[in-house]
Structure 1
Amino acid sequence: MSGFAQRTLPQGVQLGKISREVFDALARFTSFPWPVMQAQCRREELDPTALTKSDVERLLPHLATAVARFTSPEKGEQVAEALRAIVNAS
C-alpha cells in the first residue's frame, strides 16, 4: 500500500467540516491519520466523523502525543500547532 493510500479515509466514511480539518492536519504529519484520529477519539468517547472545536481542544494533547510517539517530537508539536489553529479559527 502506498503512502498516499494510507492517507485516505476508508470507503464510506464521511467527515464533518472540523473532522476533515483535523484529518487533513494529521495527514500532513503521519502516514496513518485515520487510525490515529479514530484511536484517540475512541479514548475520549468522541465521534471522529463529527468533531467540534471543543472536541479538538480536548483531543489536542492526545493527538499530538500519538503523532510524536510514532514519528518525532517535532511533528507532534507541529500537529499541536495545526490543531490549535483549527480551534482558534473564526
Structure 2
Amino acid sequence: MTELIYPQMPEHSLVVLIGPSGAGKSTIARTWPASQVLSLDAHARLLRERADEIDQLADHAPQPIGQRLRANANRLRGTADTHDATAQPAEALT
C-alpha cells in the first residue's frame, strides 16, 4: 500500500472526506483513531439497530405507547435513509 501523507492540521479541526464511491475515503478514515472519526455509514447502521430495538419494545407495550414507539423507530429509519441518500455515484460527481 502507498504510504499516506497527512498535511498539518490545526488542533480541533474538522476534515471532510468527499469523493466518489471506491475512492478510498473509508480506507483513509480507518487510519485515524475511532474517537476522531464520524462515519455516516456507521451512524446510519446504529440508527437502524436502535429502531429495531424500539420496534421490539413496541411489540410488548400497550397500544398507544406501542404506536408512539413505532413512530419513533420509523423516524430513526428515515434519518438513516437520509444519510444513505447523501451518497453520490461517481458519475454524479464528474
Establish whether TM, by shorter chain, passes 0.5.
Answer: no
Higher helix share: 1
Q: Which has the higher contact order (CA 8 A, sep 6+)?
A: 2
Range into which the TM-score falls when normalised by the shorter chain:
0.3 to 0.5
The two structures have a TM-score, normalised by structure 1, of: 0.35
**Over alpha carbons, which structure has the higher Rg?**
2
TM-score under structure 2 length normalisation: 0.33
